[in-house]
Amino acid sequence: MTATVIDGKETAKKIREELAIEAKALAEKGIIPGLTVILVGNDPASESYVKGKIKGCAEVGIHSELIRMEPTVTQEELLAEIEKLNQNPNVHGILVQLPLPKHIAESAVIDAISPEKDVDGFHPISVGNMLIGNETFLPCTPHGVIELIKRTGTEISGKHAVVVGRSNIVGKPVAMLLLQENATVTICHSRTPDLAAITKQADILVVAVGKAHMIGAEHVKPGTVVIDVGVNRIETGKLVGDVKFDEVKEIASHITPVPGGVGPMTITMLLKNTVRSAERGLERR
């Protein structure tokens, strides 16, 4: 059996088209969804992520602003800027590109963003709301993972989902969202002995580790839906996932490629959260 390759680019495009219609409807009511991105320093990877986010905004009709700050900016200065954006009614989403320079506490910065504008879904209030199943901004990559699984037509309820990785930005929230969808969830991490024995039980396998090609055919049960979140640059300069795509493709039912799988969905979910935030603003008016 050869897996169906999940086309994240195409799925992202469809969702962006839907969002463009919603943004247009908002604009007709006098509300232009607005996202402000703060970029501290000039890390090349961060520059490229920010560029993708700004481009995505333009595509769906979100007004975006980029605030650049010197790497020497103090935490107080950054927090003051966030406070200004919290108060600005034209800004529906605030995103501080991570990582930040070492002298700035990321947690203090995340905590400073108003939960009403926390389109990244990283604020502890957003995380808590997600955990108890309240409506909230879901973190973008995990939300994208769930959307991709659903759009394969796979019923998540009752399935055994195994998540490899337990970071706060990917592994843990993916596991929580899968649980909310009524999967039976197992979370694996670096201290898990005999990883293959567990991943082989998965009906849905989500891998978010950051180690090139660590998951091979020996880790996967035939017919599994495999979502590869990992993005790794190998010596040749090529981007690859955590999964050995070519060999796992031969046994999985569905599989995401890298690039072109989860990646395009992450920014799309950010755009979705920003449009939602603008809609909530309208409801409050």
User: Residue 244 catalytic?
Assistant: no
> Is 229 near ligand NDP (CB under 6 A)?
yes
Q: Which is nearer to ligand NDP, 194 or 283 (CB)?
A: 194
Q: Based on the shown chain and the rule CB under 6 A, indicate whether residue 149 belongs to the binding site for ligand NDP.
A: no
Residue with smaller CB distance to ligand NDP, 26 or 148? 148
Of 177-216, binders to ligand NDP (CB under 6 A) are: 188-192, 195, 208-211
Q: Is 53 a catalytic residue?
A: yes
Taking CA atoms, 155 is separated from 17, 116, 177, 239, 279, in Å, by 25, 31, 14, 30, 29
Has 144 been labeled as part of a binding site? Answer: no
Q: Which is nearer to ligand NDP, 56 or 263 (CB)?
A: 263
Residues 233-262 that bind ligand NDP (CB under 6 A): 262
**Is residue 167 a known part of a binding site?**
yes
68 belongs to an annotated ligand binding site: no
Q: Which residue from 28, 24, 69, 34 is spatially nearest to 54, judged by alpha carbons?
A: 34
Determine the interface stretch with ligand NDP among 29-37, 38-46, 168-176, 272-280 (rule: CB under 6 A): 168-176
Q: Are 210 and 141 in contact (CB under 8 A)?
A: no
189 versus 200: smaller Cβ distance to ligand NDP: 189
Asked whether residue 114 is marked as a ligand-binding residue, the answer is no
For the annotated catalytic residues, the residue numbers are 53, 97, 120
Residues that bind ligand NDP (CB under 6 A): 141, 164-167, 169-171, 188-192, 195, 208-211, 229-232, 262-263, 266
